[in-house]
């Protein structure tokens, strides 16, 4: 069809959870058609919110999660190229690697699952040259946490969770030092391996549950040296759980809830040093992560007195590029 065609397949043995560590998993598997003024990508590759040219350069395999979005999804992506530096992409995709949280209920004859009549939709505007990379995205999701209620007659919930997420990022490349940064204002951010999800609301124990997306704010900056032998770097990230409307009776997602103690915010500071020698790269990193814990309200927010819990992790890695 007059396009330059390519295909990529990539896997690793990291696994998604303890039960499958060491097993082969698919990371990328897609075909791409590239024309002079447009491109089409079909298959599984990065989430639109993960930017390959602008993600944390941390040594730890976590890639900045749960502060920075991460993961892969099956998708159809169309890119319009305005010129050699500016493009606008539209993506329709389905979370797979790390899925949206599902509803677990004790209602009789329940059948919890996840449905969506439309895929998640994303628009992405990007400008890129040798020194400056800048972009912004808007993402829309609409899911149906399908649940059966009762036995005779069975009531089927058709309530939906709608979420809108905004993201902006930049990368500035200097002669000696470069800087990457990103800000995310997310709704229902579970599938990006971030803090968040959605909340359930019931007027009575027998009512059909309605839903609202949880709100999450996150930002990070990564400053690093361009030295080809010894390259120090520093990652700083911060994320806040902004909850939802008051009156929630349940929460579904990652690090969310409507009672007990939970996380108000997360701070991570991770200095590192990368050492290069031929095809070998050695990386060392000291990662400090601190969370404010407190009592949750029925809006999912943590207010009042909090307790700070800290964690320190040292990482050493060796990488052979070929």
The yes-or-no verdict on residue 31 having pLDDT over 90 is: yes
**What span, in angstroms and rounded, lies between the C-alpha atoms of 255 and 243?**
11
Q: How many CB atoms lie within 10 A of CB 204?
A: 5
Closest to 243 (Cα-Cα) out of 305, 182, 189: 189
pLDDT band at 180 (very low <50, low <70, confident <90, very high): very high
CA distances from 104 to 108, 111, 146 (A): 12, 9, 10
User: 60-75, pLDDT tens digit by residue?
Assistant: 988 999 999 999 999 9
% helix, strand, coil for the chain, step of 5:
0, 60, 40
User: 224-260, pLDDT tens digit by residue?
Assistant: 999 999 999 999 999 999 999 999 999 999 999 999 9
Distance from the first to the final alpha carbon of the chain: 33
Q: Which residue has the higher pLDDT, 206 or 2?
A: 2
Rounded to 5 degrees, what are φ and ψ at 148?
-95, 135
**What span, in angstroms and rounded, lies between the C-alpha atoms of 155 and 103?**
16
* Cβ-proximal residues to 322 (8 Å cutoff; 6+ apart), any chain: 279
What would the mean pLDDT of 81-88 be, rounded to a whole number? 96
Length of the chain: 322
Rg (CA), the chain: 21
Q: How confident is the model at residue 239, as a pLDDT?
A: 97
Q: Which residue has the higher pLDDT, 195 or 145?
A: 195
**What span, in angstroms and rounded, lies between the C-alpha atoms of 302 and 156?**
33
Q: How confident is the model at residue 156, as a pLDDT?
A: 80
What would the mean pLDDT of 6-22 be, rounded to a whole number? 87
* Whether this model's pTM surpasses 0.85: yes
Q: How confident is the model at residue 48, as a pLDDT?
A: 96
What would the mean pLDDT of 74-101 be, rounded to a whole number? 91
User: How does DSSP classify residue 19?
Assistant: G
**What span, in angstroms and rounded, lies between the C-alpha atoms of 245 and 261?**
18
User: How does DSSP classify residue 144?
Assistant: B
Closest to 69 (Cα-Cα) out of 89, 97, 41, 91: 97
The yes-or-no verdict on residue 106 having pLDDT over 70 is: no
Q: How confident is the model at residue 153, as a pLDDT?
A: 78
Contact 14, 6 (CB under 8 A): no
Q: Which helix (H) or strand (E) holds 41?
A: strand 38-46
pLDDT band at 318 (very low <50, low <70, confident <90, very high): very high
Closest to 316 (Cα-Cα) out of 280, 284, 288: 284
User: 128-138, pLDDT tens digit by residue?
Assistant: 999 999 999 99
């Amino acid at each position: 069809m007059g396009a330059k065609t390519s295909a990529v397949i990539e896997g690793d043995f990291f696994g998604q959870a303890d039960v499958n560590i060491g097993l082969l998993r698919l990371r990328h598997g897609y075909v791409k058609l590239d024309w002079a003024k447009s491109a089409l990508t079909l298959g599984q590759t990065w989430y639109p919110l993960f930017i390959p040219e602008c993600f944390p350069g941390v040594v730890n395999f976590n890639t900045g999660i749960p502060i920075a979005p991460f993961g892969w999804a099956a998708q159809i992506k169309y890119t319009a190229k305005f010129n050699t530096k500016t493009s606008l992409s539209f993506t329709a995709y389905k979370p797979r690697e790390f899925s949206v949280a599902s509803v677990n209920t004790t209602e009789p004859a329940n059948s919890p699952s996840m449905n969506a009549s439309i895929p998640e939709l994303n628009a992405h505007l990007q400008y890129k040259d040798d020194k400056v990379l800048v972009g912004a995205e808007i993402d829309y999701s609409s899911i149906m946490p399908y649940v059966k209620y009762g036995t005779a007659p069975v009531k089927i919930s058709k309530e939906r969770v709608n979420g809108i997420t905004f993201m902006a990022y930049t990368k500035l490349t200097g002669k000696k030092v470069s800087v990457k940064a990103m800000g995310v204002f997310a709704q229902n951010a579970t599938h990006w391996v971030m803090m968040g999800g959605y909340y359930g609301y019931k007027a009575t124990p027998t009512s059909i549950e309605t839903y609202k997306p949880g709100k999450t704010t996150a930002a990070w900056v990564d400053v690093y040296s361009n030295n080809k032998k010894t390259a120090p770097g520093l990652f700083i990230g911060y994320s806040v759980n902004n909850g939802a409307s008051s009156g929630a009776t349940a929460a579904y997602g990652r690090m969310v809830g409507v009672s007990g103690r939970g996380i108000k915010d997360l701070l991570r500071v991770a200095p590192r040093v990368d050492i290069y020698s031929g095809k070998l790269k050695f990386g060392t990193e000291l990662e400090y992560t601190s969370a404010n814990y407190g009592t949750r309200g029925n809006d999912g927010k943590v207010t009042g007195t909090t307790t700070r819990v800290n964690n320190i992790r040292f990482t050493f890695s060796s990488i052979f590029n070929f």
